[in-house]
Amino acid sequence: MTPAWAALFLAAFGLYVRTLHPAYQLDDSPETVAACLGLGVQHAPGYPLLTLLGRLATALPVGGPYWRVNLLAAALSALAAVLAGRLVPLLFPSRAAGRAGWIAGACLAASALWWECGVSAKGALYALN
């Protein structure tokens, strides 16, 4: 990963952590965190990958369980924005494609909808998809 892409990841992750929900948002986040803590099944289809990653996140030695799973959502959302930006040069090869991809990734990371997904546990599901 080049420094520009690493900077994009760190900027997006820093933005999400700065505005991270300390507990849970009024969506399916409480159910998501409960499934991660107990390795249970959420409503269909169950989201097994998110549940296992969330279980690993709950082992972090910082914050409470809700904050930890929200932190996972922040990391996954920042990573997804970088990967989306990295796709641009592959789909549209040109001299400026690298910069255009970086700008596209930054725009995605800072968009209101993606930002909302990046700060709550349920948003981790959308970043994985």
pLDDT at 76: 95
pLDDT in tens, 21-46: 777 666 767 788 888 888 888 877 87
- What are the strands, taking DSSP E only, across 1-129? none
H/E element holding 114? helix 112-118
pLDDT in tens, 75-127: 999 999 999 999 999 999 999 999 999 999 999 999 999 998 888 887 788 88
pLDDT at 25: 66
**Is it the case that residue 129 has pLDDT exceeding 90?**
no
